[in-house]
Amino acid sequence: MKNSFGQSVCLTIFGESHGAAVGCVIDGLAPGIKVDEDFIARQLTRRRPSSALDTPRQEKDEFKIISGVFSDRTTGTPLTIVIPNENTISRDYNYGPARPAHADFSAYCKYHGFEDYRGGGHFSGRITAALVAAGGVIIPALEGIGISLATHIAKCAGVLDRKFGDLESDIKSLHEKSFPVLDDARGEEMAQRILKAREEADSVGGVTETVICGTPAG
């Protein structure tokens, strides 16, 4: 029942939606990599809810690096980031029937009823804060060796975004957007369908597509 991913570089995520904190441990980083806490903070700000399309839960997402960094450089030992939870109202959640479009049933099957169900527990969208913080460490490190990447919403609520074209231009454009699509008109159509589903107490699904450029051959 591991929550660790990767081999040469291993990422472990931890925490629950209504626990004390969420966070990550990155193990396998080479020593001497520059760690820019301002960049990490900007990525977490991008993740925070900013429109009617997002969760109403507001968190400051203030983080602390508690190991693996000295004088703004990686030491080569496990790098740990902790992000405290503040906006938690546990009384809003009672243990009962699994909620549609949530991971409640999967969590019950995996953890045999011992899971922290409040707010989705370990399967909450809150855990993405840990993933974003980890990305804030990894992305500049990759860019330093000529590797760039970006993700767009390829499909949402039945609406298709356009395909990747000029990769350098598209990657730069996506990094500047809060709603990451390549065609803004199609993005607006997606947004309208999301809002309509919300009004109807429904939800929609989506597909994301990631492009990575500059990886060594082989």
Task: Classify 79 as helix, strand or coil.
Answer: strand
The whole-angstrom separation of Cα 157 and Cα 18 is 30
> What is the share, in percent, of the chain residues with pLDDT greater than 70?
91
pLDDT in tens, 161-200: 999 999 999 999 999 998 999 999 999 999 999 999 999 9
Among all chains, which residue has been given the structure tokens 């974003």?
A: 132
The whole-angstrom separation of Cα 170 and Cα 163 is 10
93, pLDDT greater than 60:
yes
What's the pLDDT band for 109 if we cut at 50, 70, 90? confident
The whole-angstrom separation of Cα 62 and Cα 41 is 8
132: phi then psi, degrees, rounded to nearest 5: -65, -40
Mean pLDDT for all residues in the chain: 90
User: CB pairs under 8 A, 24+ apart, for 104-112?
Assistant: 110/1, 111/1
**Beta partners for residue 211, in sequence order:** 150
The whole-angstrom separation of Cα 40 and Cα 31 is 19
26: phi then psi, degrees, rounded to nearest 5: -110, 120
89, pLDDT greater than 80:
no
Q: Indicate the helix (H) or strand (E) that contains 26.
A: strand 21-27
The whole-angstrom separation of Cα 64 and Cα 75 is 16
The whole-angstrom separation of Cα 120 and Cα 26 is 24
Among all chains, which residue has been given the structure tokens 């570089």?
A: 9
What's the pLDDT band for 90 if we cut at 50, 70, 90? low
What's the pLDDT band for 55 if we cut at 50, 70, 90? low
Domains defined along the chain, listed by start:
8-145 (3.60.150.10), 148-218 (no CATH)
54, pLDDT greater than 80:
no
Angle formed by the axes of helices 37-47 and 128-143, to 10°? 130
Q: What is the pTM of this model?
A: 0.85
Least confident interval from 32-41, 90-99, 102-111, 129-138: 90-99
Predicted pLDDT at 86: 85
Distances (CA, A) of 124 to 15, 20, 95: 10, 14, 15
147, pLDDT greater than 80:
yes
Q: Report which residue type is found at 150.
A: A
pLDDT in tens, 123-142: 888 899 999 999 999 999 99
Predicted pLDDT at 57: 58
Structure tokens at 6: 């990767």
Predicted pLDDT at 77: 98
Where is pLDDT greater, at 57 or 180?
180
Task: Classify 67 as helix, strand or coil.
Answer: strand
